[in-house]
Structures are given as C-alpha cells and as structure tokens.
A = this chain, B = another copy of it.
Amino acid sequence: MQKRNAFYAQSGGVTAVINATACGVIQTARKHKDRIGKVYAGRNGIIGALTEDLIDTSRETSRAIAALMHTPAGAFGSCRYQLASFDKNPAQYERLLEVFRAHDIGYFFYNGGNDSADTCLKVSQISARLGYPIAAVHVPKTVDNDLPITDCCPGFGSVAKYVAVSMREAAFDVASMAKTSTRVFVLEVMGRHAGWITAAIGLADDAETPIPLVLLFPEIAFDEARFLAVVDAKVKKFGYCCIGVSEGLKNADGALMAEAGSKDAFGHAQLGGVGPMIATLVKDRLGHKYHWAVADYLQRAARHLASKTDVEHAYAVGKSAVLLALAGNNAVMPAIVRTSDKPYRWKIGVAPLDKVANVEKMLPRNYISADGYGITARARAYLSPLVRGEDFPPFKDGLPQYVRLKNAAVPKKLAAAFKI
C-alpha cells in the first residue's frame, strides 16, 4: 500500500474532550508510519482545507500531543461551515480535491456532529465522483448527544457530569438559604433540540442525596400553570426547588420560549435566556426569591470536571477512525456500542455514514417521567455510566495546565487562493 498523508479537522461546537479524539487520531497515525505520512490538521476545520491553511502536526512533540488528552476545546480551531451539495457547488469539491492532491492526502478524518457527518459524507463521494482515492471517516463529537447509531457521543458525558455536579452543588446552597432567602434556583443548559443534557441534570438527585428537582425538556411543551403548581408544591414540601431548563424549551405552539418573549422582568430587551425568564416567572407568580445561572460555554469547556468514561470514548473513536481508514473503509463512523449497563461495558462498532448524516436522535419519551418533569430509571441506567470516573488535568499554581500547540503552517503549494 502506498503511504499517504492524513487530514484531520474539528467541526462545529467544541467540547471538553474533542482534543482527546485528536490525540487518538494523531498518536495512532504515528504508530502507522508505513501507511500514513503526516497528519495535517485543518486550521479552523474544513475552512483550513478549502483555503489550504494546513497545520503540520508532525511539528508537535509527543508530549504536546499527549497533553491534548486533558485540554478542552479545539486545538486546531473549529468552524461552523457546511459544504453545499456536490451538484450545487462543485467548485468547492474541486478545490478540496486540488488541496488534497497537492498535499497527497489520502485519509480524511472529520470530527464533529450532525452537520459535520453530512460534510464528511459529501467528501467521501469525491472518491467515486472525481476519481480521487480517499478514505473519509467521520469521528463523532457533540455535547448534544444526538447522533444516531452510536450509543452516546464523545463530549456529552463530560457536559452531563458538569451539569449534574453543578446542580447538586447549587442545590446544597439553595437548601441552606431557603429559610429566609432564595427558594428557587434555575440552571439553564444547552441542547437546543434534544433534552439529553437536561436529562443529565436529573443525576444530581439520587437516593443518597435527594433534591427537589423540576426539569424542563425541549421535548415537552411548556405548560405554565402545571409547571408553577409543581414548583410551588415542591417549595411547600421541601422548602426549596431546583429547576433545570433546556435552552430549547418550547411553548405549546412549538416556538422557542427564549425567542417568544423578547423582554424580561428587568425590562431589558434581548437579554435572552430562558433561564432568567423562568426564574422571573416563578418570582412574579409565586413570589419565591430566586437565583439563576446560565452555564453556557462553561459546561462544554469544563475539562477540569471531565468524565473519565467520556475521555476514554473520545480517544477510542479517534484511534478507531484511523484503524478503520487503514482497513480500507470509506464513508463510515466509529460508533460506541454499549454491551452492558451494569457493569458498564462498551466497544467500538462501525456505522455507515449515510445512516448518520442529518439524523437527530431525540431523547426517548420513556426516559422522561410521566409528569414530564423528571427522568425515569431507564434514563438513569443509560446516563449514569457516561458521567463515571474522574480524569483531572494537571494543575499548576492552582489552575489547570492546558496545552497550546505550535500549529505551524504547512507551506502552501497552490497559487490560487480560495474565498470561502
């Protein structure tokens, strides 16, 4: 077999563990120098390929690459940029091909979520449509946990752990204050379409540490009167109540709550945030003093609290992507296959990319409790293994030491620039 270079890129919203996947790709490629020459990373994802802005990862030390295991976010830069279809914009694909040919790229590893799976699928078609041999492998990553076939998505487990831990800690705080002050705490979390992250908040509450929790899922239309009654009952019974709300909460008409009302009780337009909106509603209608938090990027960047299971998944899909490509696969994605809940066991399987691209896996209704405000035992059995284990980064002077790579550019070979 001919030795060829590999292209790796990070796409879409980044996670606490996407660099662990990069580490898996690069370390595994380095172990197969007979087949894979250099790993070139796209600076800012696929844009780096289109603009011939490639990063030479061979210039990074083994130590720096190893440090990716504990460094959050995208070490090579990511992007939100989706390729058009081949028929709509063939020039894009011809450009990609030109860049790949100039740098002898025979392997394409694309690390992302739903949109990225679609991009990767399109790139895989270059092989057949333009007669250029390339192995395109999608590497799963998304905090939203909404990719099909794979049991879970690297990035999700760490967010799940973060929101569960944060809610548990905040609940202890609110319980302390409830006698004379805050009685209701609202935590807004990510997950615009699917309520996986919202469900993970439910892990904060367990048999040893019960917490009066109300979850607002994007899958369940918001019913103000029912919600207020549930919250008030919990405050009356327990003295306080903690509310976890998805940024994607919708009203009965299917409109996003955050967009439905553009002004909140502060009288400020465009404050945004369904979290403060829910908190204000509780205050206005029930009179309970509230606090609210919007975790935003903190939840998906929190490598300091990553799930060890998630880190292991993330590395494994990177490693497997390379092995799949070396075995001659194209248009596939390594998938996490759960073989047992208790004890938790998993292995890597293979998913055909056309079954992954643009398919969203929603939270099953039987993961949500009958009243719509909590999680079921089934959800707990699914979620619990994913947050398990700690994998603290090294700390120096009290702060985690995250690596910044040199990210040296590969000299350009093409005369023409490409405008994205």
Question: For residue A180, which residue of chain B has the nearest CB?
Answer: B79
Residue A401 interfacial (CB < 8 Å): yes
Question: For residue A176, which residue of chain B has the nearest CB?
Answer: B74
Cross-chain contact of A390 among B75, B294, B392 (Cβ < 8 A): B392
B266 touches A270 (CB 8 A): no
A-B residue pairs in contact (CB < 8 Å), sample of 7: A47-B180, A209-B402, A258-B268, A273-B276, A293-B296, A384-B398, A390-B398
Q: How far is the CA of A72 from the CA of B173 in the complex (A)?
A: 7
Question: For residue A284, which residue of chain B has the nearest CB?
Answer: B270
Residue A404 interfacial (CB < 8 Å): yes
Q: How far is the CA of A27 from the CA of B387 in the complex (A)?
A: 34
Chain A 162-202 per-residue mask, 1 if CB under 8 angstroms from chain B, else 0: 00111011101111111111100101000000000000000
Chain B residues within 8 Å of A45, by CB: 179
Chain B residues within 8 Å of A392, by CB: 390, 392
Cross-chain contact of A161 among B283, B388, B398 (Cβ < 8 A): B398
A298 touches B301 (CB 8 A): no
Q: How far is the CA of A59 from the CA of B37 in the complex (A)?
A: 68
Q: How far is the CA of A266 from the CA of B309 in the complex (A)?
A: 38
Chain A 279-307 per-residue mask, 1 if CB under 8 angstroms from chain B, else 0: 01001000001011111111011111101
Chain B residues within 8 Å of A47, by CB: 179-180
Cross-chain contact of A387 among B292, B296, B398 (Cβ < 8 A): B398
A304 touches B169 (CB 8 A): yes
Q: How far is the CA of A209 from the CA of B296 in the complex (A)?
A: 22
A172 touches B73 (CB 8 A): yes
Residue numbers of A with Cβ under 8 A of B are 10, 13-14, 16, 44-45, 47, 71-75, 77-81, 161, 164-166, 168-170, 172-182, 185, 187, 203-204, 206, 208-209, 258-262, 264-266, 268, 270-273, 276-277, 280, 283, 289, 291-298, 300-305, 307, 309, 384, 387-390, 392, 395, 397-402, 404
Q: How far is the CA of A81 from the CA of B300 in the complex (A)?
A: 38
A258 and B262 contact, Cβ closer than 8 Å, known pairs A79-B179, A387-B399? no
Chain B residues within 8 Å of A178, by CB: 77
B265 touches A271 (CB 8 A): no
A262 touches B289 (CB 8 A): yes
A398 touches B388 (CB 8 A): yes
- For the complex with contacts A77-B179, A390-B395, 8 further pairs of A-B residues with Cβ separation under 8 Å are A71-B172, A165-B400, A169-B298, A185-B297, A209-B401, A292-B294, A293-B295, A388-B397
Q: How far is the CA of A26 from the CA of B399 in the complex (A)?
A: 31
B264 touches A44 (CB 8 A): no
Q: How far is the CA of A79 from the CA of B180 in the complex (A)?
A: 6
A166 touches B272 (CB 8 A): no
Cross-chain contact of A292 among B173, B176, B261, B272 (Cβ < 8 A): B272
Question: For residue A404, which residue of chain B has the nearest CB?
Answer: B209
B80 touches A181 (CB 8 A): yes
Chain B residues within 8 Å of A277, by CB: 268, 271
Q: How far is the CA of A242 from the CA of B264 in the complex (A)?
A: 20
B273 touches A78 (CB 8 A): no
A176 touches B77 (CB 8 A): yes
Chain B residues within 8 Å of A181, by CB: 79-80, 264-265
Q: How far is the CA of A302 from the CA of B180 in the complex (A)?
A: 22
B303 touches A169 (CB 8 A): yes
Question: For residue A283, which residue of chain B has the nearest CB?
Answer: B262
Q: How far is the CA of A108 from the CA of B102 in the complex (A)?
A: 78
Cross-chain contact of A172 among B262, B271, B280, B301 (Cβ < 8 A): B301
Chain B residues within 8 Å of A77, by CB: 175-176, 178-179
Q: How far is the CA of A300 from the CA of B271 in the complex (A)?
A: 24
Question: For residue A74, which residue of chain B has the nearest CB?
Answer: B176
